[in-house]
Amino acid sequence: MVPTHTIGFVWPGPPVPGDAEEVARFIPGGVDWHIVGTPRDFATDDRPAITRDRLFAMAENPNIEAAAATLPGLGVQAIGYGCTSASYVRGVGGDTDISARITEATGLPSTTTSTTAVEALKLLGVTRVAVLSPHVDELNERLRGFLEGHGLDVVHMRGLNKLRGIENIPQEEIYELVVQLIDRPEADGIFISCTGMRTSNILSRLEEATGKPVVSALQATIWGTLRLTDAPSELPGLGSLFQVPVAAPA
């Protein structure tokens, strides 16, 4: 199929193995896509721990704009910044600061993972959310503050205290965590934070098991970036979010 739309993503560092395959699962037919990463400031075998200070540095990194500026030449029509924690760590408004900087650097509409996660949860009617996060408590509380700052009631949150290697958590392990430890009767929706958490094989199963909408970070990022164009977004087996028709904002 000849692509009719092209979207782009800025990663907070070069993509890790498995990123491209997971992104591709969420891309509808007729849509081309590109990922660019900000340059590493560390050795490949010495990835820094994911801490508050590290995330502040990532969020304020001027290489975000430099990386984004390479995308218009690839025919990209909209850009998503693909990191939950770097886009929520500075609180409400920290996410839109990143997207505003990308738009200023490229002239293209842009969004972030945290922005699109809130949009997705609200569109699906979620008001009381249970959250699975891979991160440590300090970051989880910042995520709680961000979500509650946008009017969502966080009824339960569990962190995995991971500092590295989030992309290596098996999807079946994530499934069991959500079903056994995250879901709560008082929650009307579930959010799986961090774009490194692989979820493409389990989203629909999780919704069937819990009877609730389940939004994951990468799913929301791609959906929200598609939403900035008039590209189609309906895909089977990827959760209720990808059953919602996407139209360009008026």
Question: What is the per-residue pLDDT for 4?
Answer: 86
Does position 45 have pLDDT exceeding 60, yes or no?
A: no
Q: Give the residue carrying structure tokens 């591709």.
A: 24
pLDDT in tens, 123-155: 999 999 999 999 999 999 999 999 999 999 999
CATH of domain 5-113+218-236: 3.40.50.12500
Does position 247 have pLDDT exceeding 90, yes or no?
A: no
CB 221 within 8 A of CB 197: no
pLDDT in tens, 161-176: 987 889 899 999 999 9
Q: How far apart are alpha carbons 53 and 233 in whole angstroms?
A: 36
Predicted TM-score of the model (pTM): 0.93
CB 197 within 8 A of CB 168: no
Question: What is the per-residue pLDDT for 198?
Answer: 97
Domains in the chain: boundaries:
5-113+218-236, 117-216
Between strands 5-11 and 31-37, the pairing is parallel
Token code pair at residue 2? 């000849």
Report the interhelical angle of 52-59 vs 137-149 (nearest 10°): 50
CATH 3.50.50.60 fits 117-216, yes or no: no
